[in-house]
Structure 1
Amino acid sequence: MGDWRHVRTPRLWLDEPVDTDAAALFAIHSDPASWVHLPSGVLTDPAAGEVMVGASRRRFERDGLAYWSVRDAEGGPVVGRGGCLGPDDAADGRGWWNLYYRFDQRVVGRGYATEMGAVAVEAAHAVAPDRPVLAYLLEHNVGSRRTAERLGLRLVWRGPDAGNPDPDAVRLVFLDREPDDLLVAALGQAAMPESGLVRP
């Protein structure tokens, strides 16, 4: 597939966001129920929806892939946001795809994140196969971890979650491949006394 801006799966419509998606995207990301694993992540500025739309548009234009607005009916309301996003600046050393998924709580549990995520990983491999796909999640977010595992990603790092208001929070990094030293360094683990890298 050459154009990943609009993709159809068995149950989902994945589309480059449009201006009218902004309110729904903000509603999903401002719902405390969708942030039970990281309460500090709740968005409070309604302009965030417009920012999300604009960010995806710019990345689709630049990279050919970004986060989609997700619908479960043709022309229906936005029920989620997800996909793979490239780095702000590939020159900064963080040359990976970030796999992301967040859904309206009314549709959580239907397997939409896995269905969308499978296409996102496929798209990332098609657009830039040398760029790893990374999922960055909290250890106590069991649902997100299971999604990453279902998508074939594997745990490569476990350690403290820098900047989290919860000092006991543990961050996990899942990848679609064995990480090289450059990637480990870019993730900031090389500077730690124990890298936290999980090897088979």
Structure 2
Amino acid sequence: MSDWRQARTARLWLDEPVEGDADALFAIHSDPASWRHFPSGLVTDPAAGATMVGASRRRFERDGLAYWSVRDADGGPAVGRGGCMVPDEALGIDGGGRGWWNLYYRFDQRVLGRGYAAEMGRAALDAAHEVAPERPVLAFLLEHNVASRRTAEKVGLRLVWRGPDDGNPDPDAVRLVFLDREPDDLFVAEVASEGWDAERNVC
């Protein structure tokens, strides 16, 4: 099996986060422009960057795959964060559940429009399918985030659920769930009914 702590695509370096990425990750997630479709998701705690680094590293150790720091130059600063990760909640109370891979992508506003999210997303699906193919890959989106929806479609996911976004301060917000395989109705209904931490899971 491949070591997915580092991976390459045509233009991107996908790396297990390191402490030096914390400031760049915080800057990306604390930029209001990154959250125009979900303003309440804005990250404001300066310690959040270090938390992201630690969360990814723990999950790489546990699951063999987690969110990468995305670079567009070898050794360059992180210009995004993304990949597939198993949310702790997906494993159940005792940690013994099958879980699923959550596909996530968020990038520095200065690199939007280059197709980086889809390029990284394809690599993330390849990684997830190799590491634990029995786990479905899901992406949680907000319907009015058209660019995010297009990315999910470009990497091969398809819409399997549409409904209210419980817990969103915007009462009119609609959540979409995209999946990489034929849906299990019970599974999708369970996933769609849960509330998820915006920073980690909603694209």
Deviations 1:38-75 (A, max 9, x none): 00011000000000000000000000000000000011
User: 1:48: which partner in 2?
Assistant: 48
CA displacement at 1:27 relative to structure 2: 0.2
1:3-42 equivalences under 5 Å are: 3-42=3-42
| Equivalent of 2:103 in 99, 103, 115 | 99
Distance 2:136 2:60 in 1: 18
2:53 aligned with 1:58: no
TM-score normalised by L of structure 1: 0.91
Deviates more, 1:86-95 or 1:44-53: 86-95
User: 2:73: which partner in 1?
Assistant: 73
Distance 2:36 2:141 in 1: 13
SS at match of 2:110: coil
Deviations 1:97-131 (A, max 9, x none): 00000000000110000000000000000000010
TM-score normalised by L of structure 2: 0.90
Q: Tell me, which stretches of 5 or more residues in structure 1 are unaligned? A: 191-200
- Count of residue pairs brought into register by the alignment: 190
User: 1:178: which partner in 2?
Assistant: 182
User: 1:193: which partner in 2?
Assistant: none
The answer (yes or no) to whether the contact 1:94–1:186 under 8 Å persists in 2 is no
When Rg is computed on C-alpha atoms for both structures, the one with the higher figure is 1
SS at match of 2:183: coil
Distance 1:138 1:181 in 2: 20
Distance 1:181 1:6 in 2: 34
Deviations 1:118-163 (A, max 9, x none): 0000000000001000000000000000000011100000000001
The answer (yes or no) to whether the contact 1:37–1:140 under 8 Å persists in 2 is yes
Distance 2:178 2:116 in 1: 19
The answer (yes or no) to whether the contact 1:84–1:120 under 8 Å persists in 2 is yes
CA displacement at 1:185 relative to structure 2: 4.0
Distance 2:123 2:18 in 1: 20
Distance 1:188 1:174 in 2: 10
The answer (yes or no) to whether the contact 2:12–2:72 under 8 Å persists in 1 is yes
| Aligned-partner residue type, residue 8 of structure 1 | R
| Aligned-partner residue type, residue 187 of structure 1 | V
Deviates more, 1:81-90 or 1:55-64: 81-90
The answer (yes or no) to whether the contact 2:177–2:192 under 8 Å persists in 1 is no
| Aligned-partner residue type, residue 61 of structure 1 | E
| Aligned-partner residue type, residue 92 of structure 2 | A
| Aligned-partner residue type, residue 56 of structure 2 | S
Percent of pairs with identical residues: 79
CA RMSD of aligned residues (A): 1.5
Q: Tell me, which stretches of 5 or more residues in structure 2 are unaligned? A: 195-203
CA displacement at 1:182 relative to structure 2: 3.9
CA displacement at 1:189 relative to structure 2: 4.6
